[in-house]
A and B are shown apart, each in its own frame.
Chain A
Amino acid sequence: GAGVSQSPSNKVTEKGKDVELRCDPISGHTALYWYRQSLGQGLEFLIYFQGNSAPDKSGLPSDRFSAERTGGSVSTLTIQRTQQEDSAVYLCASSLAFSSYNEQFFGPGTRLTVL
């Protein structure tokens, strides 16, 4: 069965450029999450989507970061004017309907390197 997929797996960009990271959640999962893991750090929550509700953007580190989820499925995380501190592994996860106890399934991540 298909798990969470992310693309690209690796992205190298120059400082100041914009990047888009894509996430395909597990079919039927209505909740989608973005996290990032910087070098030597734990996973840091960025944003999550649940159905048609307004997303929880409380973890986005700056207004250069934005995300959208089209048709309740695929999500794109966009980072504008990238900075070197944006270098990290960006992880997407999905889960079944809104519930405290639903396990989140993670994709393999996108490793972003900003030169």
Chain B
Amino acid sequence: DQQVKQNSPSLSVQEGRISILNCDYTNSMFDYFLWYKKYPAEGPTFLISISSIKDKNEDGRFTVFLNKSAKHLSLHIVPSQPGDSAVYFCAAKGGAQKLVFGQGTRLTINP
């Protein structure tokens, strides 16, 4: 039972354009959502998060949007840069400390 889903395994975007990564969840008890970025042979690194009491959180080029009624969140990166090429994981938690991760989306930024 996949509680957090990233339905796009890969995404290719031109440098300078907006990258939009999507994530859906099924568990209404989740109250905190995070995005992690992972380069090959490295552990995931935290990127940005959002609490369920908010619908938007912005940090520089990165913005996360949360639509609780649709159980959907998205990560916007604008403008996209070549260094943004990585695998992006959506994660959620609620009550328990463990993070529930999606399968990841491989983002490729083309020059």
Is B43 within 8 A of A56, CB to CB? no
| C-alpha spacing A19/B49, complex, angstroms | 35
Binding-face segment, B12-20, B65-73, B74-82, B96-104: B96-104
- Chain A contact-residue range equals 20 to 34
- Chain B contact-residue range equals 20 to 34
Picked from A42, A103, A105, A108, the residue with its CB within 8 Å of the CB of B41 is A108
Q: Is A31 positioned at the interface, with any CB of B under 8 Å from its CB?
A: yes
Residues of B within 8 A of A103 (CB): 34, 46, 49
Interface residues of chain A, those whose CB is within 8 Å of chain B, are 4, 31, 33, 35, 40-45, 48, 50, 56, 58-59, 91, 93, 98, 100-101, 103-109
Q: How many A-B residue pairs have CB under 8 A?
A: 61
Is B102 within 8 A of A42, CB to CB? yes
Q: Is B62 positioned at the interface, with any CB of A under 8 Å from its CB?
A: no
Residue of A nearest to B104 (CB): A42
| C-alpha spacing A50/B49, complex, angstroms | 22
Residues of B within 8 A of A105 (CB): 46
Q: Is B64 positioned at the interface, with any CB of A under 8 Å from its CB?
A: no
Known: A91-B43, A106-B44, A108-B41. Contact between A45 and B31, CB under 8 A?
no
Is B100 within 8 A of A100, CB to CB? no
**7 residue pairs bridging A and B, Cβ less than 8 Å apart:** A33-B97, A33-B98, A42-B6, A91-B44, A93-B43, A103-B49, A105-B46
Q: Is B51 positioned at the interface, with any CB of A under 8 Å from its CB?
A: yes
